[in-house]
């Protein structure tokens, strides 16, 4: 296992391990400062798993390591990392076709999140990751939360009243588009660089009225994106999950036994 970097304000370090010819990423979050980090790690893993799709980084499990002051988040490893470095103020420009692929991938991820009543709250180029096969995925659900539904009607809270709901998320998505197009993280005019279709998409995503603003699902139907043929559902059964894709119950049991053994040894010494 090798250290791959640091993140989240120095509170987390990343490591990669090769398992069954597949690379998994482990995020170690220090839990000595605040006990609430345990709950945060669990919530992040659960919400990320709830939004599982082709364009969301897959989260496998969270484990409270009883032998140290760390919480482990085990998730898919995106070999090429984030599309923009955290510290970069400018970066190499993307070609127009790649921009289109990235933006559509983000919208697909958001569409799945919103169908699951989950809002990401931290959409930016630094949280978009690329795998070795060129797939772009939304990750880092540390700020994500579920949108509450009305107990009587079962409807989500009004988008005009709740920041982070689908209509508000469109603003973050549009901001991300702007950064990718202009190659800068600050606000820059895009009129000279954007095509007519892109400008129209941005205008509709930045609509002041949340009720009229494009959602992720509606944005994917915009003419700027080439429309794909309808998918035919396959009758072939899904393959059985490999051991690393199942809930890591054995890891939790391992750490629980280790903690129990240490507690027993301490009791005997007393």
CA–CA distance, 54 with 130 (Å, rounded to integer): 12
* pLDDT tens by residue, 130-175: 998 999 999 888 888 887 766 666 665 544 344 445 554 555 555 5
Q: Which of 181, 40, 170, 56 is nearest to 113 (CA)?
A: 56
Neighbour tally for 226: CB within 10 Å: 8
Residue 30 per-residue DSSP state:
E
What pLDDT is attached to residue 216?
A: 84
Residues 107 and 162: beta-carbon distance below 8 Å: no
User: Tokens 């709250």 label which residue?
Assistant: 121
For 9-40, what is each residue's pLDDT tens digit?
334 445 555 555 555 555 555 544 444 666 77
Return the pLDDT at 138: 92
Answer whether residue 56 shows pLDDT above 90: yes
Non-local CB neighbours of 58 within 8 Å, separated by 6+ positions: 48, 49, 52, 75, 76
What pLDDT, on a 0 to 100 scale, did the predictor assign at position 25?
58
Confidence of residue 234 (pLDDT cuts 50, 70, 90): very low
Q: Residue 98's pLDDT is what? A: 85
The better pLDDT of the pair 253, 38 is held by: 38
Across 61-66, average pLDDT: 68
Which tens digits make up the pLDDT trace of 190-230? 444 456 787 788 888 777 777 788 888 888 898 888 766 55
Domains and CATH numbers, the chain: 2-76+238-269 (3.30.200.20), 96-219 (1.10.510.10)
């Amino acid at each position: 296992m090798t250290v791959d970097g640091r993140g989240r304000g120095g509170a987390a370090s990343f490591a990669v391990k090769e398992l069954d010819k597949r690379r998994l990423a482990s995020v170690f979050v220090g839990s000595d400062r605040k006990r609430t980090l345990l709950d945060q790690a669990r919530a992040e893993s659960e919400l990320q798993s709830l939004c599982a799709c082709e364009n969301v980084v897959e989260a496998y499990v969270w484990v409270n390591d009883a032998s140290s002051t760390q919480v482990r988040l085990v998730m898919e490893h995106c070999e090429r990392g984030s599309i923009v470095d955290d510290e970069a103020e400018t970066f190499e420009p993307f070609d127009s076709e790649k921009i289109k692929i990235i933006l559509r991938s983000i919208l697909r991820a958001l569409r799945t999140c919103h169908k699951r009543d989950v809002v990401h709250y931290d959409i930016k180029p630094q949280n978009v990751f690329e795998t070795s096969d060129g797939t772009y995925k939304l990750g880092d659900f540390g700020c994500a939360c579920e949108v509450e539904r009305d107990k009587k009607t079962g409807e989500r809270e009004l988008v005009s009243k709740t920041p982070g709901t689908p209509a508000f998320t469109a603003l973050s998505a549009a901001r991300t588009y702007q950064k990718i197009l202009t190659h800068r993280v600050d606000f820059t005019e895009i009129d000279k660089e954007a095509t007519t279709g892109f400008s129209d998409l941005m205008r509709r995503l930045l609509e002041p009225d949340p009720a009229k603003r494009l959602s992720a699902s509606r944005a994917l139907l915009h003419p700027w994106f080439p429309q794909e043929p309808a998918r035919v559902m396959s009758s072939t059964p899904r393959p059985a999950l490999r051991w690393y894709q199942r809930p890591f119950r054995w890891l939790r049991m391992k750490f629980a036994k280790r903690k129990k053994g240490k507690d027993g040894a301490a009791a005997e010494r007393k």
